[in-house]
Structure formats: structure tokens, C-alpha cells
Amino acid sequence: MPIRQIAIGRPHEATHPDTLKAALAEFFSTLIFVFAGEGSGMAFAKLTGGGPSTPSGLVAASIAHAFGLFVAVAVGANISGGHVNPAVTFGAFVGGNISLLRGILYWIAQLLGSVAACFLLKFSTGGLETSGFALSGVGALNALVFEIVMTFGLVYTVYATAVDPKKGSLGTIAPIAIGFIVGANILAGGAFTGASMNPAVAFGPAVVSWSWDCHWIYWVGPLVGGGIAGLVYDLLFIPQHHEALP
């Protein structure tokens, strides 16, 4: 059972050079991803005056986030596993693929990377506001279910293409598959919740714009969805003992 594989980690792991390098890789990967994704939305608004929930804005956001995540996962894969998302890290933890201590360092790095990206965007655009995530035409419960289901799909894809030891050559396209599912989910849920699927992606804009309306949804939804995906995939499809993620 996955619950038996959950590890807290040893104290020295938090200061081990490999762990620190992995956390640093998560910081840079998240910065790259958020800068590209959030920046595309700001550029679209400047050029067209339209919001991200317009048809063309939604397509632009989908493409930018899919491309950005593809790169962010690919450049971090050999160092940290390329999580770029606290929900992915949490899903890996509940499936016994990363220790709690290492996961906490990943979380800190991911959140700081997102905040740094948003501050850099605000500075480099002359003070334009980074747009925080918000609900549109749906209630909190509806939005929560949206985020849970979308993040389940994302983390399930991560497990199938990057974590599963039986993945074989499929692992080479993992960053593409992960980017594609995020892009597809943005087309599905972007008009309703903004399609975060990632607490770090929602956290950076919220800090810089200091807008926290319904922010809890962008934590609870992704973490629940990611946790369920990690448990389901590990329990049903990886019954044997497997090695932990880096």
C-alpha cells in the first residue's frame, strides 16, 4: 500500500547538496514557467485589451502554458524530477516517491520561484499588475471540483509518463504529455476558474497583486486532486516496490 511507503526523511536530507540543488532547480523551473504563462496573459491584455477568459485569450493562455511547462519540466527532470507544482510534489509524496522533508523544500522553492517571476514581470513591464486567479460564473464548490478533476488529470499523467518504472521509452515524451494536459485543461476550465492546477501558479500573482479572493480553492483543489491521483495510480498500477523520485 502507498501509505506504507510514505517517508518523512532524515534531518540531514534537508541540507544535503543534492537536495539543495534539486530545490534550486525547482525554483528556476517554476520561475521559467510562471514568467512565460503569466507574462503571456499580460502581453495579450496589453496588445488586445481583452481578458484571459475571451476565446482568443484562452487559446493564447493554453499554448503559452503548455509550451512553458514542457520546457520547465524538461530542464528540471534530470535534477529534481521537474515537479514545478506543489500538487505534483504532494502526489509524489503520498505515493511514496519523495520524502516529506525534500517535498517541503520543493514547495518553498516553487512558491518563491512563482513570486520572483511575478515581481520580475511587474518590474519589467513598468508596473503592470499580474492578474490573480478568480472565479467566473461558478460557485466555490463548482470551482473546487474543477480544480480537483483537472489536477487529477495532470498528476495522473505525471505518474503514467514520468514516475511509473514501467514507462520505458514513454518517459522521453513526459514533458510534452504534461504540457499538453495542462494546455487542454486550460481550454476546459480556464473560463471558469482560470485553471490553476498549481498552488504556486496562483500564489505568485496573489502575493504581488495582494488579491486573495477564494485563494483557498487553488490550494485545496490541486492538493486533493494530486493526492488522489498519486494514491490511485500507485495503488492500482505500481503494486510492487519502486524507487523514489530524485
Question: Is residue 158 situated within a structural domain?
Answer: yes
pLDDT at residue 15, rounded to an integer: 84
pLDDT at residue 129, rounded to an integer: 85
> Amino acid identity, residue 244?
A
Instruction: Kindly state the helix (H) or strand (E) to which residue 146 belongs, with its residue range.
Output: helix 140-158
User: What gap in Å lies between CA 95 and CA 111, rounded to an integer?
Assistant: 22
pLDDT at residue 246, rounded to an integer: 45
Question: Is residue 93 situated within a structural domain?
Answer: yes
Q: Residue 29 is part of a domain; what is its CATH number?
A: 1.20.1080.10
Name the domain count of the chain: 1
pLDDT at residue 245, rounded to an integer: 44
* Joined grid coordinates for residue 135: 472565479
CB neighbour class for 109 (10 Å; exposed up to 12, middle 13-18, buried from 19): buried
Question: Is residue 245 situated within a structural domain?
Answer: no
CB neighbour class for 119 (10 Å; exposed up to 12, middle 13-18, buried from 19): middle
CB neighbour class for 78 (10 Å; exposed up to 12, middle 13-18, buried from 19): exposed
Question: Is residue 41 situated within a structural domain?
Answer: yes
Question: Is residue 113 situated within a structural domain?
Answer: yes
pLDDT at residue 48, rounded to an integer: 83
pLDDT in tens, the chain (246 residues): 455 577 787 888 888 899 999 999 999 999 999 999 999 999 988 888 766 678 888 999 999 999 999 999 999 999 999 999 999 999 999 998 999 999 999 999 999 999 999 999 999 999 998 878 999 989 999 999 999 999 999 999 999 999 998 888 878 899 999 999 999 999 999 999 999 999 999 999 999 999 999 999 999 999 999 999 999 999 999 876 544 444
pLDDT at residue 244, rounded to an integer: 46
User: What gap in Å lies between CA 202 and CA 207, rounded to an integer?
Assistant: 9
Question: Is residue 244 situated within a structural domain?
Answer: no
Q: Is 43 helix (H, G, I), strand (E, B) or coil?
A: helix
For residue 147, give the nearest of 81, 215, 101 by alpha carbon.
215
Question: Is residue 205 situated within a structural domain?
Answer: yes
Question: Is residue 222 situated within a structural domain?
Answer: yes
Residues spanned by the domain of 48 = 2-237
* Joined grid coordinates for residue 246: 530524485
**Buried b or exposed e, range 36-75, using 16+ CB within 10 angstroms:** bbbbbbbebbeeeeeebebeebbebbbebbbbbbbbbbbb
